[in-house]
Structure formats: structure tokens, C-alpha cells
Amino acid sequence: MVDEDEMALNQVYTEGASECMNRVVNKDLHVEGSSEASTAESAAGYDGEAAPVETKQQEEAKQQEGSAALQRMGTRFFSPKMKSHRKKIIWTFVLTNALLAVFVLSLLSIYWGATYNRQHYMFKVNVLTVIQDESELVGTTMSAAIATLVAGVPCTWHVFNASEFSEKYKVSSEEIDDKVVDLIFGEKYWMALNVKRNATNALYDSLTGGPTAFNSTEYFEAIYESGRDPTSLQSAILPNMKTLEGIYRTYFLDQYLPSLLGNLTETPPPDRIIAASNMNFEYVDYRPFYNALLLAPLQVGLIYCLLLTFFQLSLFAPLHVEMSKLLKPRHIILYRIGISWLTYFFLSLFFCTVSAIFQVDFTKAFGRAGFVVYWMSTWLLMMALGGANENVISLVLTLGPQYLGFWLMTWIILNIAPSFYPLVLNNQFYRYGYAMPIHNGVDIYKVIFLNLSKQHMGRNYGILVAWVALNTALLPFVLRYVGKTMRKRAAAAAAAQQTN
């Protein structure tokens, strides 16, 4: 009992002593911070006069006046005292602009180059041509010249007759039409021209008293998938088929049809001649790009997806710093990985919900499960993009925070340049895009939204998983290096402070 009373008494004494010391310190500070007027007041106190009581506002004003007197005054830019600073400004200006010039001319050229001189690479576009047309009524079929005419059209044209095609792909004559469509869907060719059986016989019958007029669109079918590349197929690749159509129409009207009419014993009715002269291809878009809204999640939206992974890292940065001082190294790593992956899980849900709000159709390829597939794919994509961001940004902030913007632009351009435009129309340099997270994400999204072939999905998911595994494996080494560097800097700063 006595011990408890004594402890309580000691505590009260300690608190009282602390309060007294605080008051003394505050009083001493007021005395030290006073001006000549306060000195006169102190002298008046020694003469027995009572010093006037100052208000709190007056005390603060005097303190500000005292501190203002100690502040360094500004000077002119061209003052002799600024000579060393002017040299520093000029050097920094030159170095910064040189760095920006190198960055712009090198990195932005990668993006511009993705659309440069496409015609030069058009030979890499493979186009299938199947000529099934054969005739016993006419010596030369109307489609025989196509094999020669394609030589004057860009692209690489693979021309087969019915027997050659059946032998190569092991199909019967009745299965040729379906096989042509299957080859386009399987992305073996970018386009196909399928000239169907009995085209010449139908033309001949229509001009010699047959029951129906000739309709070229029933026999000349051009097949493609605009969904395979929404921005480039119709603008850059499909025009080559239209060029062939124009060349063939000219040949047909100027040479073949007049020759055929000259060999007939009777002149056909004018309406049959007009119908035969209307030479056009039937264009079949097997997987159409049906909604411009899809450009948001397929292109620009993916840039925002990448940036969002950076935002979450910057928002968690203060908490990461605090936890790094409390947790053991192994637990820091587990904490960082867990926080990031869990954040991406919900962030990807929010990102995908925007597409759902604007009524994007997720059911094309996977039915009602389409949204879940889209969500999980986006989660995996964010982990791949965000993991690289987390590792590199941790190093950048440690070694040179001013270069953070350079990394973000580099990471964006390296991803989108080979992803938003077809690699077939680019230089071989852009083949690195097959390993980029966004390129593989775009391929997956095209399957989800446009029901393209699923044959590459295994590779796409595998590359994204590889990015996640690589980033996760590198994170411990990055954190160890960052922690070691920061400790060295803290020790150096403490030593410098003690020296001063």
C-alpha cells in the first residue's frame, strides 16, 4: 500500500515538474524572440515598474517580425552572386531538353512507326483464292483470268482450283465452301475469294434463253472478318479485294463478255445483257465489328487500365512506407503482393462494370459466363501490368523520381504500338509485341466481344501468367535493393547532421 502511494506521488511530482519546465521554456522563448521594445520593458521592470501585459496576437506579431529579420532577401537574376546558379540553370536546361529530344525522337517513333508505310508490308498479307468454276459449255471459263489478274494486286495470293484445294486440305468438293470459311475463321488467311461452281454455265444459260438472269454475287464471294482488326482491316487490307474486283470487272466487260456474246448464234434480250454486265463480288463479313463502342475496351480503355495500376500504387505508398518499418522482410513481401492482387481484383471489377453499364454484349463467345471471363481476364492483365509498374516505379522513385513520367510513357507505348495495329503490316521489330501484356489482353477481348477463334487463348493466358510470375519473383529483390539504398541514405544523412 505504501509503495502504491509513493508511486502515485512520484507520478504527480513528475507531471508537475514537466509542466513547470514547459512554462519556463515558453517564457524564455518569448524573451529571446523579443525586440528592442521588449528589452526596454524588461528594464522598466527592474526599476520597479510593472510591464504591460501583451496579448497573444501581439506576441505572435513580434515573433514574425523577429523571424522575418532573419530571412534571406531576394536578389536580381543577373546579380554577381547568382553566377554559379546561372551556370546551373543553363546546364540543367540544356541537359533536360537533350534528354527530352532523345526520348521523343526514339520512343514516339515506335508508335508512329506502327502505321508507317503499310503498303510496303502488304506482301505479308495472305489471301486465299479458290476457283471452283468449271464448264463444258464454254472453252474458257469466266474466272480463268483471275489467277493472272491477282498478280497486279498487293498481298500474297494463294490460288487453287477445286481439285488442288480438295487435295491440300483433304475435303470433298461439297465441303470446299465450308472449309474456306473455316480457314478465314482460323486466321490462316486475312481474306478469301471463293468462285463457286457452275458460274460460267449460269452466265451462258442466262444469255441463251435460260429461266433466270445472271447474278454475279451468287458465284463470287469475298470472305473476311472485320473483327480481327477493327481499325485496319477495312481501311488497309480489304481495299485490295476491291481493287481486284475493279480489275476483274474491267476485264470481264471489255474482253470476256463481248467475246462470249460474239460467239452466240442469237442476240440475248437487253435485260439479260444488262444483268450479265453487272459484275460485283458478294462481301461476307463472317465476324463483323458491329459496334463502335467496343473500341473503348479494345483500345483506349486499355491505356486507362495500365494507368489505374499506377494509381493504386501511389495511393498505397504512404501505407507501404509505414508497414515497411513494422514488418519483417518476408511479411513485407507477402503484404505487398496480397494488397496488390486484392486491389486489382476489385479494380478490374470496377473497370469491367463500366462496359456493362454501357451495354456491351459479353455473350458472343461464352454465353452468360462472358462477363466473368472478361473480369478474370482483366484481373490477370492488371496483375501483369501492375506488377511491372510496381517493380520499376519502386526503383525509379529510389534512384530518380523525376524520371517517373518517362517510365509510364515508355510502358504505355511499348504496349500499345504492337497491339492497336496489325503486326502483319509492321516491321519485324514489332514482333516483340507478342510478349506484351496488352497485346495478349486485346486478343482475349476480341474473342470475348467478337467471338473470334479461341485457338490463341492458351498462349495469351500463358504469357500473362508468365508476366505475373516474373514480376512476383523480382519483387523481393527490388524491395531489398530499395530498402538497402534508403538505409544507406539515412545513415549518411545522420552522420552529416552530427558533423554539423
pLDDT, tens digit, 9 for 90 and up, residues 113-132: 999 999 999 999 999 999 99
pTM of this structure: 0.81
Residue range 360-374: mean pLDDT, rounded? 96
Evaluate if residue 9 carries a pLDDT over 50.
no
Cell numbers representing residue 29 in the block: 522563448
Cell numbers representing residue 316 in the block: 498505397
Cell numbers representing residue 54 in the block: 501583451
Q: 187-198, pLDDT tens digit by residue? A: 999 999 999 999
Q: 77-97, pLDDT tens digit by residue? A: 888 888 888 899 999 999 999
Mean pLDDT value across the chain:
87
Residue range 470-492: mean pLDDT, rounded? 92
Best CA proximity match to 252, nearest among 219, 209, 299: 219
> In the prediction, which pLDDT does 45 show?
38
For residue 422, the cross-strand partners are: none
CA–CA separation, 144 and 300 (whole Å) = 46
Residue range 138-167: mean pLDDT, rounded? 94
For residue 160, the cross-strand partners are: 130
Distance of CA 391 to the CA centre of its chain: 18
Rg from Cα positions in the chain: 39
Beta sheet of 126-131, edge-to-edge order: 156-161, 126-131, 191-195, 220-224, 282-285
Q: 424-456, pLDDT tens digit by residue? A: 999 999 999 999 999 999 999 999 999 999 999
Contact 418, 114 (CB under 8 A): yes
Evaluate if residue 71 carries a pLDDT over 50.
yes
Q: pLDDT exceeding 90 applies to what percent of the chain? A: 72
Residue 194 gets the label, from left (phi > 0), alpha (psi -120 to 50) or beta, of beta
